[in-house]
Amino acid sequence: MRPIKNIHGDKAPHWVGDGFFVKTLINHIEDNPNFNYSHTDPFLLFDYGTPTTFAPNPHYQSQPHGIGQHPHKGFETVTIAYSGEISHADSTGGRGDILEGDVQWMTAGRGILHEEFHSEAFGQRGGVFSMVQMWVNLPSAHKLTAPKYQSIKRAEMPIIELIDSSDADHQAPIGQAAIIAGDWHGVTGAASTFTPINVWDIELHTAGATTLHVPSTHNTLLLVQEGELLVNGTRVNAGRLIQFAAPSQSRLDAQNKQASDASCPATDTIELHYPRTAADGQTLAPVKLLLLSGEPIGEPVAGHGPFVMNTQEELRQTFRDYQTGKFANEEV
């Protein structure tokens, strides 16, 4: 079992533009010795969008809620819409709406400009808005890759039934996992990635227990997006990000183990128990979780604002390029 090292989530939420009310649970520029980029590599930043109710916007066409044109370089942004809808446009000509349950996987690579707003339909009707966005680092070999955009619909994600391990006789499903990226026992996720990454969107709706298997070479994190449950016996509620202990094996150790004994894959387990009833006897709402695991890239990071490179000189050159118009097509 992969031990829990820490549980994060006590930071105050803040606004990004006027459309996204978030807690920044991972930030690569922070130097906390107990929780920094070395513990989350390849995940650079993670914003948890607290469910927020928006009234209908009378100016939804001319003044939509969100954030206007801004640049990125050197990494990928991944946005998951849980409630509400987001409209996206970028300097490569990519445009589209991210609907509930959908994912936008944008590779900034050598440079992109984009904007993110509430969709016209959501702005007109209002309602609950909740999302997460993460930044995934690119290795130096792919820092300057061409920008691209993956629009991943919920229907395109492999869906895995989660079986109650506490009742082996009945094999009853207690939830499901949508495999956004990575591998689930040979089932490949919908997104293409540059390094080994798992992104699993999990929901538990019936009381029971289940076990997740994650590569022992990966840094591993688990967001409780909604609800409350026991993770490895520890009760965790919504808005908390679980940091698991460091990988138990290096990539080389894992490869050697698999070569010598293919029947014992190099994985660690995470135990989930959804009691459906809280300590005070109240019925709990279904649980939504997001598992992130990734093989560390292990390269130096030089980041400031919307740019993440490997050296300070590369970072300075990126700012010069942006300021002199050499960064990307300025039209969105």
Which string of DSSP letters, residue by residue, matches 89-140? EETTS-EEEE-TT-EEEEE-TT-EEEEEEE-HHHHHH-EEEEEEEEEEE--G
**pLDDT the model gives residue 153:** 96
Same domain, 191 and 291: yes
Number of domains in the chain: 2
- Is 240 in the same domain as 114? no
Q: What would the mean pLDDT of 91-110 be, rounded to a whole number?
A: 93
Asked whether residue 329 is domain-assigned, the answer is yes
**234 and 248 inside one domain:** yes
Residue 106 lies in a domain: yes
The CATH number of whichever domain residue 169 belongs to comes to 2.60.120.10
B/e letters for 109-142, b = 16+ CB within 10 Å, e = fewer, are bbbbbbbbbbbeebbeebeebbbbbbbbbbeeeb
138 and 56 co-located in one domain: yes
Residues 283, 311, single domain; the answer is no
Q: Tokens in use for 258?
A: 């698999």
Claim to verify: residue 310 and residue 276 sit in the same structural domain:
no
pLDDT for the residue 276: 83
Does any domain span residue 225? yes
pLDDT tens-place string over residues 261-300: 555 558 999 999 999 887 777 888 899 999 999 999 999 9
Residue 123 has pLDDT above 60, yes or no: yes
Q: What tens digit of pLDDT does each residue of 4-32 get?
A: 999 999 889 999 999 999 999 999 999 89
Mean pLDDT of 180-208: 97
Tell how far CA 140 is from the center of its chain. Answer: 21
> How many Cβ atoms from other residues are within 10 Å of residue 144's Cβ?
14
Joined together, the tokens standing for residue 86 give: 């987001």
325 and 284 together in one domain: no
Confidence of residue 251 (pLDDT cuts 50, 70, 90): low
Q: What is the pLDDT of residue 140?
A: 98
Residues 219 and 187 in one domain: yes
Given this model, what pLDDT does residue 60 score? 96
Q: The domain containing residue 246 runs over which residues?
A: 1-7+157-299
| 294 and 166 in a common domain | yes
Question: Is 264 part of a structural domain of the chain?
Answer: yes
What's the pLDDT score for residue 171? 81
- Is the domain of 167 the same as that of 290? yes
| 165 lies in the same domain as 218 | yes
pLDDT at 47: 97
pLDDT, tens digit (0-9, with 9 covering 90-100), for 81-90: 999 999 999 9
Tell me, yes or no, whether 190 and 273 share the same domain. Answer: yes
What number is the average pLDDT over the span 47-67? 96
**In this predicted structure, what is the pLDDT of residue 254?**
54
Does residue 174 sit within a domain? yes
> Residue 44 domain-assigned?
no
State the residue for tokens 């390849």: 42
| pLDDT (0 to 100) of residue 19 | 96
Distance from the Cα of residue 207 to its chain's centroid: 25
* More reliable by pLDDT, 254 or 183: 183
DSSP secondary structure letter of residue 100: T
Q: Is 22 part of any domain?
A: no
**pLDDT surpassing 50 at residue 329:** yes
Predicted confidence at residue 331, as pLDDT, reads 44
pTM value is 0.92
Residue 111 lies in a domain: yes
